[in-house]
Amino acid sequence: MTRCTLGVDIGTSSSKGVLVDERGRIIASATIAHHVQRPRSGWVEMDAHVWWAEFVELSRRLVAEASVHDVSVVGVGVSGMGPCVLLVDEKGEPVRPAILYGVDTRATAQIERLTRELGADEITRIGGSALSTQAGGPKIAWIADEEPEAYRRARRLFMPASWLAFQLTGSYLLDHQSASQVSPLYDVESERWHEPWWQRYAPGIEAPPLRWANEIAGTVTADAASATGIPEGTPVIAGTIDAWTEAVSAGAHGPGDLMLMYGTTMFLVATGTTTLRTPSMWTTVGAFPGTRNLAGGLATSGALTAWLKQLSDADYPTLLAEAEESGPGARGLLMLPYFAGERTPILDPEARGVIAGLTVTHGRGDLYRAALEATALGVRHNVETMRAAGADIRRIVAVGGGTQGPLWLQVVSDVTGLVQEVPRTTIGASYGAAFLAAGAVAPDGAPPRIEDWNPVETVVEPNPDRAALYDRLFDLYLDLYRGSKDVAHGLAALQRTEGTTPA
């Protein structure tokens, strides 16, 4: 019987599962769409019970497919968005909905307080990164400050991947990569929790034992087997945050690699062996021992194009065709993609979207083209910031749902001047989770190679004829943010006063 591994990823807009054989072929896949909750301006949350319910449904579907195809599930990989903060009580019940990653901007006061109390330089020395809305530590502090009753009941900390591993195996742990984003509570050089700061800012919460993403967390319990259909005793890996699992899925986690993840948000992960620090990016440990990352992310990407689609009566193929017709420069439109604040490199949760150059002659295709170019300009801003910090970027690999069509890829290559490699399988983090699980349970101790599982299929070259135009637009992009920043902040304050929630 053919050996297979099951991989499941809990994402921002959906949960995805795949069943993959030992040669990397996808036997079956399934997706469940969901929505995050935005109860107040700047808040982005999700009920952790949904994560487990969706895992159960996906696994039962995939295990049924395994029976049809006469294959056996020998390992389980887990992955999820992050860094998130899910606190649970002594019985393992969430004390409140999980607070999501950098798109949730509520903890600005805690970021300022922790930075003042600990010192910006010391935070960077220990935790690697300046505190931002991406950091987990201030979000823990926010719960303690703003919801003390919930915090008093809190005993353990989870993220989506570790929550699934816990539900499946009963093991309480967190992978190193995820832990390094619970800034400033993790020491990136010693690769362990920084106990003085943990006790100060997460008192009463048991620090999760640490594992690497590909290490086995435990095996499926009888109760989990009954719920999911996965055989009791099946090994489950610790897993990690989706962007890193996605990098694994495409072989973009070696020194010199940069992964671009085209999803609801845009994520970038540059891998090396040296710890690089810069105030405007995120320094983390890698998915594997001995690696370090400089990472960044746009707060919107696919979320922005989905928003434009919702305002239109057109489907995506129509919008893409009209954007193609609009042409480079979107007929003189320039957009700032900060429709949910912005993460790197400006670290400005109060930033807001701007569309400049509008006239009555512009149509929806121009707007859609401007949105694609806005995300590409954001990628360029991040890449230039990474390189200025010393990142040695020699190879760029594109993954995620946005790689399915050629236009967005071409726009990003044209705007950035980067050559992008696109692997055969871009289904993403769930595939990477299945690959990690396959390595953990390899019968002969020889893990599979991702180059064999998922070779490069497409190479996207930048069009040199468009370089001058996009150089000019990039300068205007930077100027537009600087020139509109104060107005955007004033509008953000008005939105808070009026109780509105930005898209």
Could you give the 3-state DSSP secondary structure of residue 18?
Answer: strand
Going by DSSP bridges, is the β-strand pair 395-399/257-262 parallel, antiparallel, or unpaired? parallel
Q: Are 156 and 208 in contact (CB under 8 A)?
A: yes
CA–CA separation, 228 vs 59, rounded Å? 6
Alpha carbons 461 and 430: distance in angstroms, whole number: 28
- CA distances for 402 relative to 250, 268, 412, 422, 454, angstroms: 15, 14, 11, 11, 18
Instruction: Give the containing element (helix H, strand E) for 162.
Output: helix 160-169
- Do the strands 192-193 and 186-187 form a parallel or antiparallel pair, or are they unpaired? antiparallel
Extract the tokens encoding 333.
Answer: 């439109």
| CA dist 431 → 18, 236, 293, 399, 428 (Å) | 6, 15, 21, 11, 6
Peptide bond into 345 cis (omega under 30): yes
- pLDDT value, residue 401: 83
What pLDDT score was predicted for residue 503? 44
pLDDT at 502: 47
Tell me the mean pLDDT per 10 residues along the chain, length 503: 95 95 96 96 95 98 94 97 97 98 94 98 95 96 98 98 98 98 96 98 98 98 98 98 93 94 91 93 93 94 94 94 98 97 94 98 98 98 97 93 91 97 90 97 89 95 98 98 98 82 47
Query: What is the model's pLDDT at position 178?
Result: 98
User: Quick one: which H or E segment has residue 323?
Assistant: helix 316-326
What is residue 350's predicted lDDT score, i.e. its pLDDT?
94
pLDDT of residue 426: 82
